[in-house]
Amino acid sequence: LERLARLLRDWDAERRRAAAPPRPGPAEFEIRVARLQLPDTGRPPLLTEFVALDTAMLTAIHLLAGETSVERALIVVAELTPLLDLARSELLDVDDELGDVFRHPGATLAHLDQVAREWSDLLAGRSDEDEPRLRTRLPLDLAAALLFLHDAHEQRSDHEHGWLRVRDRAVEAITTGRLADAPVAVDGRAALEETRSVALTLAGHWLDELRGERESRSAALRPRVIDACSRCLVTAWAQRRIGHDR
């Protein structure tokens, strides 16, 4: 029980920073219940304990996350929609200043790295640019670059399905974490680091695939891509909300 309590305290702290993993779905419960029902002949007791603790953890998270009203979710969707439009515009518009980077995966990866550096400098207080605008715009540009990269890898030309999943994940993070009451708690640096990590993982897998050294793992990486993009979207939402509160 003490171990479970520690895990739940960590999860509660993460959800209030918009850094917690998504609420577990029915399939995750089914997998763990099936593992618990397997005969324990020859199975180490420690493994049984781990599966039981993992199942209890997911059950507790599901209960603690609570229910989200339709009204509250619609309010959040309305607040996120203009930010999604801004992020999508980078992929749709031919931008001479950016050199049309969102047509070439390699150029997009380089652009992602540049945006990440600018955001890192901003968070560290090393930027002289228009901070309020950049604090909203840079996370959106980062999300757009990462989503484009993954869609290019999967040879998708329509990004709308991905953006809808990003939005839904962001709505869940905002409502589950009750972030409307404390947007300042959103951890932008954690979102930046996760996005960089996912982009590097995708690039590494892609290069290995091109060399014929492994099969595509793109589908398995998709949930991490959606989660990282949604965390960038939540960060942009929080910055805009903080700006409005001021």
Q: Is the pLDDT of residue 94 over 80?
A: no
Lowest-confidence region among 50-59, 134-143, 232-241 = 50-59
* Number of other residues whose CB lies within 10 A of the CB of residue 132: 13
- Degrees to nearest 5, angle at CA 138 with 128 and 136: 90
Q: Is 82 helix (H, G, I), strand (E, B) or coil?
A: helix
Predicted local distance difference test score (pLDDT) of residue 88: 85
Contact between residue 33 and residue 55 where contact means Cβ atoms under 8 Å apart: yes
pLDDT at 116 over 50: yes
d(CA 66, CA 72): 13
CA-to-CA dists, residue 224 to 21, 68, 127, 202, angstroms: 10, 23, 29, 10
DSSP secondary structure, 8-76, as one string: HHHHHHHHTTT-SPPPPPHHHHHHHHHHHHS--TT--HHHHHHHHHHHHHHHHHHHHH----HHHHHHH
pLDDT band at 195 (very low <50, low <70, confident <90, very high): very high
Out of 22-31, 155-164, 177-186, which region has the weakest mean confidence (pLDDT)? 22-31
Task: Give the separation between CA 231 and CA 146, rounded to whole angstroms.
Answer: 12
**Whole-angstrom Cα distance, residue 234 to residue 19?**
10
92 vs 117: CA distance, rounded Å: 23
Nearest to 196 by CA among 124, 134, 238, 145: 145
- pLDDT band for position 246 (cuts 50, 70, 90): very low
Query: Once rounded to an integer, what is the mean pLDDT over residues 4-30?
Result: 83
> Taking Cα atoms as reference points, which of 19, 16, 138, 156 lies closest to residue 83?
138
pLDDT at residue 188 tops 90: yes
Are 196 and 202 in contact by the 8 Å Cβ rule? The answer is no
pLDDT at 129 over 70: no
Give the pLDDT confidence score for residue 196 in this predicted structure: 96
Q: Return the higher-pLDDT residue of 51 and 217.
A: 51
| Residue 128 pLDDT greater than 80, yes or no | no
Worst-scoring range by mean pLDDT, 50-64, 78-92, 107-121, 135-149? 50-64
Amino acid at 231: R
Per-residue pLDDT averaged across 111-125, rounded?
92
CB 150 within 8 A of CB 222: yes
